Amino acid sequence: MRRSRIKNDENCTVGTGALIVFVSMVLLATLVTFTLVKITEEIAQSTQKTSEDVRRDVVNSVIITGAWVYDNQDDMLFMMEFGSAGEPLQREDVEYVLYCTEPDGTFHYRSAALGDSNGGSDIHVWELGTDGPDTPGFTDVANFRPGARYYFTLDGGTQNNPGGAAGECGPPHLDTHGISANLFIHIPNGQSTHQILTLSNGREIGSQII
């Protein structure tokens, strides 16, 4: 009888140990599964956020592809191109900032919606390959299409004095002071484009300024 009880006790101990191991394995499997699910969700969320950031950067983008002296005063002509995978944008939602600094530290700037001279001479926006502002009945482009290229003009001057005779940050002003200007184009939900404007051949009409 004693040997039988000892054997039963040993069997019980082995069974209890096996049960503990089994429960431990279940808990471990549950923990591993929870960890894998959590990591998978975090990776998916990170990938989605990265994809959205890349989409915005690529979709809503614009670059300056050319710039020239436009007239004998202080107007400049630019060519820009929008991202091919983008969304249509209203012209009034696209803004520009033009600024420059003279050698003595005097700072000049102006800013407005693209196509708005903000008090200076008339400036215009039209699609490449279409009639320009010299055509009778010309009207500025109202919307920008993805992948399309456009011309636009800018007038020198300041925010407080946009129609001033000095034409600050325009070609004559840059030529007189031997400086460069900076142009920023801001578009909704996209990257801002920065272009340094440097005269290549003085204020001569048609000469490049980038």
pLDDT at 184: 96
Residue with tokens 């009639």: 131
For residue 187, give the amino acid letter.
I
Amino acid 108: pLDDT: 93
Rounded Cα distance between 177 and 162, Å, is 19
Characterize the bridge pairing of strands 149-155 and 62-69: unpaired
In the chain, % of residues over pLDDT 70: 80
What fold, for 62-197? Immunoglobulin-like (2.60.40)
Tokens 């140990």 -> residue: 17
4 confidence band (pLDDT: 50, 70, 90): low
Specify the pLDDT at position 27. Answer: 79
Question: Would you list the domain boundaries of the chain?
Answer: 1-59, 62-197
At 95, is the secondary structure helix, strand, or coil? strand
3-class secondary structure, 82: strand
Q: Provide the pLDDT for residue 106.
A: 93
Per-residue CA distances from 75 to 71, 125, 131, 150 (Å):
6, 13, 19, 17
- Averaged over 134-138, what is the pLDDT? 89
pLDDT reported for residue 77: 95
Q: What is the per-residue pLDDT for 25?
A: 80
The secondary structure of residue 85, as a DSSP letter, is T
Residue 124, pLDDT > 70, answer yes
Asked if the model's pLDDT at residue 9 lies above 60, the reply is no
pLDDT 10s digits, 38-92 = 787 777 666 666 655 555 555 678 999 999 999 888 899 999 999 887 789 998 8
Beta carbons within 8 Å of 177's beta carbon, 6+ residues apart: 102, 103
The DSSP letter of residue 91 is G
Q: Torsions phi, psi of 186, nearest 5?
A: -110, 130
Q: What is the pLDDT of residues 102-117, one digit of tens each?
A: 999 999 998 888 866 6
Instruction: Spell out where 45-200 has E strands.
Output: 62-69, 75-82, 89-90, 95-101, 107-113, 125-127, 143-144, 149-155, 181-186, 193-197
Could you give the CA distance from residue 142 to residue 15 in angstroms, rounded to a whole number? Answer: 82
Q: 0.75 exceeded by the pTM?
A: no
Candidates 51, 52, 80; CA nearest to 64 is: 80
Is 118:193 a contact under the CB 8 Å cutoff? no
HSE-CB of 193 using CA atoms within 13 angstroms: 21
Please identify which residue in the block is written with the tokens 């050698």.
103
In the prediction, which pLDDT does 185 show? 95
SS3 136: coil
168 in helix, strand or coil? coil
